[in-house]
Amino acid sequence: MKHVSASLKAKILLLSILPLIVVTIAITMISLNQARILSEQEINTFEENLLRSKHQELRHYVALAMNSIEHLVKDAKPGDLYAEYEVKRILQSLTYGEDGYFFVYDREGTNLVHPIQPQLVGQNLMGLQDANGKYVVRDLIDLAEKGGGFYRYLWQKPSKDELEEKLSFVVQVPKFNWMMGTGLYIDDIAKEVAATRLKVTRNIRNTFFTVVVILSGTIIIIALVGVAINMHASQLADVRLRELAHRYVQFQVSQRRNFARELHDGINQLMVSVKFRLELARDKLGKDDDSAVNDISKGCDVLNMAIQEVRRISHDLRPIQLDDLGLESALYSMTSDFAERTEIDMNVRLELPERRLPDDIEISLYRIVQEALTNIEKHAQAEHVGVRIWSREGHIWVEVSDDGVGFVPDKTESGIGLLNMRERTELLSGRFSLKSRAGFGTKIRAGFAII
């Protein structure tokens, strides 16, 4: 009888554990496989967006260089040695960042300008090949003669003195028949993608280990419960096992939901943010796919407008001052550009703490001011704008006010700009408020804990 009882207990225990193991393994494998596929798709999109950002940045730099020599090119005559000398001198002096410079070649492939490797000046490099066998200079000249474009190749990175992959954008300098361009090294993109992939892989692995631990713990609990239960209480044991299995499945669903949310709100939101800023830049510059040569032909006025747009969009994407000089300089730069562009009277008062704020709070304060000024420029018709930042009792506050036409918040607050400000604030557990009345202006305030 004892043998029968033990056998029955073993069967009950086995019937309780096996379905749980099979279902859990199946659900876990499916979830992990879907997570891998989704993460790889998002990483690929993330890499493409980073490359698009590099493309836009290179267009901006070349447009800036072409604007700096436009007055010489426009007035130059064929064979004007003075104009050629001045153009080369100006481009030789234009550098940016740690490895940014401009290069110039004539149609025969002779280098005319190379500030980083001056030993190349005067050499004919038409037959130069990179480590992959690409005829770099010849291909760049052909590309410039066809209207300009982008080209990837291997070139020595000055700061590392090693060969790295480089993305260049070239155009043709009119009247001189020169190829001029600049490039950015894209090894940082590979590092960012690798870091993102490593993080995603680590999250997937941690989730798998968590499932294994939970499954092991659950099996142990079920086994202990099954051994301890008397045959006369088998029905009660079945109820308890079902409850335990139900709680376990609920926990697994919760774990998968949290993991999916982490993927969506992490990598996906980053890509959406990048996409939004690129679309904003595209809309502000106009949907132009023409090369810088075609832009120059529109005249000095159009070029000046384009340069202002380039400055503003560059600051919108990621102001250099925010990283190098801090929030205060970045905000003063943004507000002064806004005042100069719109001729609106600005009153800026910044009372920032002596210590540097956390990066997420700094960028949130900057973006809130940026969104508010964008809305004011588009809709407010204001004459006076106030921007104030101050700290009090462990919180940092930002307030942007104007004396414009105002609006009814209940009807307008669904706009993208206001939603972005509110969601950005709430994401950091901050407080956001909006006050506006038709004809009496608008006041936006947001606060974050900095303790």
Is the per-residue pLDDT at 16 higher than 60?
yes
State how far the alpha carbon of 92 is from the alpha carbons of 88, 101, 174, in Å: 6, 8, 18
- C-alpha span between 256 and 31 (Å, rounded): 7
Question: Domain ranges in the chain?
Answer: 2-48+190-276, 80-185, 319-449
What is the rounded CA–CA span in Å between residue 233 and residue 239? Answer: 10
Residues near 433 by beta carbon (within 8 Å), at least 6 away in sequence: 444, 445, 446
Nearest to 395 by CA among 355, 451, 434: 451
Lowest mean pLDDT among 312-321, 362-371, 386-395, 405-414: 312-321
Model confidence band, residue 161 (pLDDT cutoffs 50, 70, 90): confident
Give the pLDDT band of residue 278 (cuts 50, 70, 90): very low
Which tokens hold the place of 101?
């410079």
Ramachandran region, residue 163 (left: φ > 0; alpha: ψ -120 to 50; beta: rest) = beta
What is 80-185's CATH topology? Beta-Lactamase (3.30.450)
CA 333, distance to chain mean position in Å, is 21
What is the rounded average pLDDT of the residues 117-135? 91
pLDDT at 410: 67
Residue 319 banded pLDDT, cuts 50, 70, 90:
low
Q: Which residue has the higher pLDDT, 280 or 100?
A: 100
Q: What is the CATH architecture assignment of 319-449?
A: 2-Layer Sandwich (3.30)
pLDDT tens by residue, 41-56 = 777 787 788 888 888 9
Confidence at residue 89, expressed as pLDDT on a 0 to 100 scale: 92
Instruction: Look at residues 315, 330, 320, 313 and name the one whose alpha carbon lies nearest to residue 278.
Output: 313
Listed in sequence order, the residues at least 6 apart from 13 whose beta carbon sits closer than 8 Å to its beta carbon are 222, 223, 226, 227
Q: Half-sphere exposure (CA, 13 Å, Cβ side) for 322?
A: 20
Residue 409 has pLDDT above 80, yes or no: no
pLDDT at 359 over 70: yes
Structure tokens at 209: 């280990």
**Residue 250: predicted pLDDT:** 36
Q: For 266-300, b where at least 16 C-beta lie within 10 A, e where not — what string?
A: bbbeebeebeebbeebeeebeeeeebbeebbeeee
Report the alpha-carbon distance of residue 300 to residue 287 in Å, rounded: 19
- The CB density around residue 11, as the number of other CB atoms within 10 Å, is 10
Check pLDDT > 50 for residue 385: yes
Domains 80-185 and 319-449 share a fold: no
Name the least confident of 157-161, 272-276, 317-321, 382-386: 272-276
Taking only the tens place, the pLDDT of each residue in 219-248 is: 777 667 666 665 555 556 555 544 443 343
Mean pLDDT, residues 378-394 taken together:
91
Contact partners, residue 174, CB within 8 Å, separation at least 6: 73, 293, 296
The string of pLDDT tens digits covering residues 170-224 is 999 988 889 999 998 888 777 777 777 788 778 777 877 787 777 777 777 766 7
Structure tokens given for 91: 């481009």
Q: Give the span between the Cα atoms of 209 and 423, in whole angstroms.
A: 33
| Chain-centre distance for alpha carbon 193 | 12
For residues 356-381, average pLDDT: 87
What residue type is 326 in one-letter code?
A: G
